[in-house]
Structure 1
Amino acid sequence: MTRLGVEMLAADAVGPITSAGHARLGLAVLAGIAVIVLLITKFRLHAFLALTIGSLALGAFAGAPLDEVISGFSGGLGSTVAGVGVLIALGAVLGKMLADSGGADQIVDTVLARAKGRSMPWAMVLIASVIGLPLFFEVGIVLLIPVVLMVAKRGSYSLMRIGVPALAGLSVMHGLVPPHPGPLVAIDALGADLGVTLALGVLVAVPTVIIAGPVFSRFAARWVDVPAPERMIPQRASEQLERRPGFGATLVTVLLPVVLMLAKALVEIVVDDPGQPVQRVFDVVGSPLIALLAAVLVGIFALLRPAGFSRERVSGLVEKGLAPIAGILLIVGAGGGFKQTLIDVGVGQMILEITEDWSVPALLLAWLIAVTIRLATGSATVATVSAAGLVAPLAADMSTTHAALLVLAIGAGSLFFSHVNDAGFWLVKEYFGLSVGQTVKTWSVMETIISVVAGALVLLLSLVI
């Protein structure tokens, strides 16, 4: 039985903290989500505060004792941060190393040196996908946009033909492939296996990024034909370094955690005996914590030392890498608190009872819930953590593979149609020098394609595995 299954049985044994019926609980959920949406969109309140207030509102509308709501929210916040906080921190440090050492630029320059003409959009999606593995979406954009603009200008390429594949690579990694915060939180909430989710996530990500990137960019370039804005081409990190790490060392550092986690999943399938020494070893080295920690330690010697970083500068880089993730950790933690509030008041059990006789597959239901919250709040992370909390009980009796697919269905839904309430929308608009309409035609449509294609592939996989 999964950890979540044990938690759910314990929760059922205690029972919900309110005696509200389905109708009142349904209205309470709508009211709680409405409070979160209103606070984020209308009052521009930070998502952490909005989720906290929304959780209290949900408990109040459901008629639950507020002291128990507060206790449950705090417990959910703590357990979520305990489960994924260290992983997010290690991922942030690894991404900072990759950016500041010039390793990211090394990957970019090496791939672009071999790409010409029609292969350039494919090169851009490859670069974005590889670099996007350890980087948060916003960091990836800041890192890659200068490259996109320079390539478009120097090679006389359409900006959208080059830019859309890069954005697609980053977005797909962000929504579907751990160790990004969204997938990690969903994995933790649903009790899914990280290695299996990672393997299936990569399987879904490859065709998705091809369709939403190089293929869609052909149409995007026809719809929006704009030059690269020169004012947005900043100095690259490696231009300030005397030397930078090699391509091979950088690639090994980036892919190391992925390889270790996939190896763990493969050994579990082949050996299938927890008592065997081989599986026990891979259970340790392939755990997310050890895999990411190993990549960070390797990065110190493979990325930072070749770039001439002193011990003091290495320490300073780690500190700078950790600083920006405070807000992300708080949002993720509050999302875990909101999820726990949903479980405590009995919403999870209500969804189980209501959907028992529905013909809507659980994966499609999860995707639709994530889509709705994404459209309302504009935040992929909020959509993921909220949807995971709502559908968590559905995963209790699922197989390992279907629980992983449920995570991916939520991730796919969380990327649907980014618009004016999403910070990423404005980031893309300003960096590419687009109008609101042009951003919708390119970025928003691309995000929708990713969401629909990935969601369809998840449903297809559920029929064959």
Structure 2
Amino acid sequence: MEAIEPAYGAGVLLLIAAVAVALLLFLIMKVKIHAFVALVAVSLLTAVAAGIPLADVPAALMSGFSGTLGSVALLVAFGVMLGRLLEYTGGAQVLADTLINRFGEKRAPLALGIAALIFGFPIFFDAGLVVFLPIIFTVARRFGGSILKYGLPTAGAFAAMHAIVPPHPGPVAAADLMGGDIGITLLLGIPVAIIAWFVGAYLVGTRLGDRFDVDIPDLLFGEENAGVDETADGSGGSTAVRTKVPAFGVVLGLLLLPFLLIALNTVVGTLRTGGQIADDAAWASGLQLIGQTPVALLITVIAAVVVLSPGRFTIPAATKLMDEALGPIAAIILITGAGGMFGGVLRASGIGQALTESLSDVGLPLILQAFLIATALRVAQGSATVALTTTAGLISAQVAAEGLSDVKIALLVFAVAAGATVLSHVNDSGFWLVSRFFGMDEKTTLKTWTVMETTLGLAVFVLAALLWLVL
């Protein structure tokens, strides 16, 4: 649902948003109401208070909810299926052992983060994180300590790549709206993302992991198998057996499969846009279809069943394993969808439009103005992509008037991405995804994930601002 004409000025809408966030935190953290119920209730009250016509309120609620579910539910479902199969057969343990043997125990968070940076090049944040969950959990189980020590640097790597580096939609759209060059944005974005991740996510994330002791959740993958498990016979019975552990190459291949399929989709799409491949080429459409993230994960799950089942489990047993994995994530999906609903209501209320109009001419340097506008939109309505594209569209005329080079435009993209990254909180569906995946309550998530996202965004902005002065 598109934003309506704001019923109130920016000040009133910001006050409504602030009261809504405070009420939501009070209901969840103090009254202990279930997060899903609280999010839906506060979304409804916020829609009415913000002046959305009553007849349009249901559409405003469902638009944010269904839009978020459409992008998250399939990814999470297929991701936890794949993770459960890898964890059950010992595949996650094999991959974790190999990483640790190569990098050492003390560098385990660094190894996971570097792997996530590589995998995060074509894969969206939520898809990459859910595929990496079994590896994160297995490494944390082996060495003990807080899950955040391993989870935050990994999640931060996916977040950095998703916000800064093409072909992810946010930076691509921002560069396009400002008339920049995607190639230059990509070439500059990779080193900026890596440096900003190391400073703002790896160093900060590992320190937060040492400070906040969060137990390794059994929610998604059950209790540790350690190579011995109970193999269901498909009829409700089970027998304890030692599973035949898959080879490292098999496990790595399964994780690379969605990466390669999604990368293939990106390459074909880029060639089509550039005119090297005809728009009506059926074979190209087919390659792009199998490279869509949900389809790529579906293919990977099927491949995992086929490759891992011989000597380890029957097809009915695999079905039982995947069914067991799906049950616990219902709450995660619903809460994430409700978080999208809350952010969608804030967007539909016109708060973004009111903010951009009030901040469009504040007399600040362009790169700082871009960062602050994106930050305000991120805090107000939650969606990083909306903050990115809205800010880019707002400053595009000024960019064109100043005749900036492609390098300068790329740096503006990074500044906008930095503002769209900071201060992830309860109106961001990603906040709820991380909170539930890592088994954190809302207070701990604010003290860890929100802090790390903020330091990551600030690191990106500082790098962009320094480069702005010298290039």
TM class, shorter-length: 0.5 to 0.7
The Cα of 1:177 is off from its aligned counterpart by: 5.6
Q: State the distance in 2 between where 1:244 and 1:43 align.
A: 46
How far did 1:368 drift? Answer: 6.1
For residues 423-462 of structure 1, the aligned pairs below 5 Å read: 449-454=455-460, 456=462
Partner of 2:290: 285
Cα distance, 1:408–1:320 mapped onto 2, change above 3 Å? farther
Contact 2:414 2:460 in 1 (8 A): no
Alpha-carbon distance between aligned partners in 2 of 1:461 and 1:145, rounded to the nearest angstrom: 37
Deviation, structure 1 residue 142: 3.7
Within the candidate set 170, 175, 178, 2:154 is matched to 170
Tell me, which stretches of 5 or more residues in structure 1 are unaligned? 1-6, 150-158, 374-382, 417-421, 430-435
The residue identity in structure 1 corresponding to 2:285 is R
Deviation string 1:66-110 (CA, Å, 9 cap, x unpaired) is 442233212331233224322222222222222222111011122
The CA distance in 2 between the partners of 1:405 and 1:280, in whole Å, is 34
Give the aligned length: 404
Q: Residue 145 of structure 1 aligns to a residue in which SS?
A: helix
Quick one: which of 368, 374, 385 aligns to 1:366? 374
Residue 238 of structure 1 corresponds to 227
Q: Is the Cα–Cα contact under 8 Å of residues 24 and 39 in structure 2 kept in the other structure?
A: yes
Going from structure 1 to structure 2, the CA distance change for 1:20 and 1:133 (only over 3 Å counts) comes to closer
- Check conservation: 1:81, 1:329, Cα contact below 8 A: yes
Verify: 1:253 aligned to 2:257, yes or no: no
Mapping of 1:301-450 within 5 angstroms? 301-302=306-307, 304-306=308-310, 308-358=312-362, 359=364, 360-367=368-375, 370=378, 384-385=382-383, 393-394=390-391, 410-411=420-421, 413-414=423-424, 449-450=455-456
Task: Name the CA distance, whole Å, in 1 between partners of 2:374 and 2:386.
Answer: 10
| Conservation of the 8 A alpha-carbon contact between 2:196 and 2:460 | yes
**In structure 2, do the counterparts of structure 1 residues 265 and 286 end up closer, same or farther at CA, with 3 Å as the change threshold?**
same
Instruction: Verify the 8 A CA contact 2:131 2:255 in the aligned structure 1.
Output: no
Moved more, 245-254 or 209-218: 209-218
* Residues 307/328 of structure 1: CA separation in 2 closer, same or farther (3 Å cut): farther
For 2:459, give the aligned amino acid: V
Q: Give yes or no for contact 1:340–1:389 (8 Å, CA) kept in 2.
A: no
Partner of 1:299: 304
Cα separation, 2, equivalents of 1:239 and 1:405: 50
> Closer, same or farther in 2 for the Cα pair 1:88/1:423, shift >3 Å?
closer
Q: CA RMSD in A?
A: 5.1
Task: Give runs of aligned pairs for residues 120-139 of structure 1, distance below 5 A.
Answer: 122-123=110-111, 125-126=113-114, 133-135=128-130
What amino acid is aligned across from residue 302 of structure 2 in structure 1? L
Structure 1 residues 93 and 395: CA distance shift in structure 2, 3 A? farther
Residue 160 of structure 2 contacts residue 197 of structure 2 at CA under 8 Å; is this kept in 1?
A: no
Partners of 2:79 and 2:468 in 1: how far apart? 30
Q: 3-state DSSP class of the match of 2:93? A: helix
Measure how far apart 1:305 and its partner are: 1.1
Pick one of 139, 148, 165 that aligns with 1:144: 139
Secondary structure of the corresponding residue to residue 78 of structure 2: helix
Which amino acid counterpart does residue 288 of structure 1 have in structure 2? T
Structure-to-structure mapping, 1:219-238, within 5 angstroms: 235-238=224-227
Once the two structures are overlaid, the 10-residue window that deviates more, 359-368 or 250-259, is 359-368
| Inter-partner Cα distance in structure 2 for 1:353 and 1:459 | 24
In 2, Cα distance between equivalents of 1:426 and 1:261: 26
Displacement after TM superposition at 1:293 (Å): 1.4
CA pair 265-444 structure 1, distance change in 2 beyond 3 A: closer
Question: What amino acid maps onto 2:391 in structure 1?
Answer: L
Q: 1:30 to 1:217 in 2, by over 3 A?
A: closer
User: Aligned residue for 2:87?
Assistant: 99
- CA separation of 1:412/1:285 partners in 2, compared to 1, >3 Å: closer, same or farther? farther
* Cα distance in 2 between the residues matched to 1:327 and 1:395: 35
Counterpart in 2 of 1:152? none
* Structure 2 Cα separation of the partners of residues 392 and 276 of structure 1: 30
When residues 263 and 405 of structure 1 are mapped into structure 2, their CA distance, relative to the original with a 3 A threshold, is farther
**Structure 2 Cα separation of the partners of residues 55 and 443 of structure 1:** 23
8 Å contact from structure 2 (residues 66, 337) kept in 1: yes
Shift of 1:120: 6.1
| Distance in 2 of aligned mates of 1:311 and 1:405 | 49
Q: SS in structure 2 opposite 1:106?
A: helix
The structure 1 residue matched to 2:25, chosen from 37, 40, 57, is 37
Deviations 1:251-295 (A, max 9, x none): 111122122222322333344233445643432222112211121
* Mapped contact 1:138–1:424 kept (Cα < 8 A): no
Contact 2:93 2:135 in 1 (8 A): no
**For residues 415 and 464 of structure 1, what CA distance do their matches in structure 2 show?**
34
Shift of 1:412: 5.2
Aligned to 1:268: 269
Q: Is the 8 A contact 2:153 2:202 kept in 1?
A: no
> What amino acid is the match of 2:73?
G
Deviations 1:292-317 (Å, cap 9, x if unpaired)? 11211121123x31461111111012
TM-score norm. by structure 1 comes to 0.67
After superposition, what is the alpha-carbon deviation per residue over 1:149-201, rounded to whole angstroms, capped at 9, x for unaligned? Answer: 3xxxxxxxxx79xx8863443332464466x9xx9xx969x9889x9999999
Q: Identity percentage over the alignment?
A: 26
TM-score, normalised to structure 2's length?
0.66
Taking the aligned partners of 1:453 and 1:329, their CA distance within structure 2 comes to: 31
Q: 1:390 deviation in Å?
A: 6.5
Contact 2:117 2:194 in 1 (8 A): no
